[in-house]
Amino acid sequence: MELALEVLFWPFVACLVLTGIHSYLGLHVVSRGVIFVDLALAQIAAMGATFAFLLGYPLGGNQAYFYSLLFALIGAAIFSVLRLREQKIPQEAIIGITFAVASATAILIADRAPQGA
């Protein structure tokens, strides 16, 4: 029993620290109203990898990672610029629409890939 407590002490401390960090960051995310921006950016990055696949690059290659990073950075820049402007449509709605459009576009790109989907 003493060995189990000794082994599990530091992972337990790490869990407490991570809970505090995630609670703090989660409050800021909710207060800013950008709850699903991570999902939209992940879908945009997946669309970039699918685009690289369409161009003939292997999915695990550096080119696919580059396209994913490039698409994600462009998406993040667009979200940042849109946040600065006063809008009639809430930013969360724009993020949701972007997620759906990026998902549909990735499917359409994969359909056109010469290697097959």
pLDDT digits (tens, 9 = 90+) for 21-51: 999 988 887 887 778 888 999 999 999 999 9
What pLDDT, on the 0 to 100 scale, is given for residue 117? 55
By CB neighbour count within 10 A (0-12 exposed, 13-18 middle, 19+ buried), where does 71 fall? buried
pTM, full prediction: 0.73
* CA dist., res. 64 & res. 56, Å (int): 10
* CA dist., res. 77 & res. 79, Å (int): 5
Q: Are 76 and 41 in contact (CB under 8 A)?
A: yes
**E strands along 37-115, which residues?**
none
For the chain, which residues score pLDDT lower than 70? 115-117
SS3 state at 112: helix
Q: How many other C-beta atoms are found inside a 10 Å radius of the C-beta of residue 19? A: 10
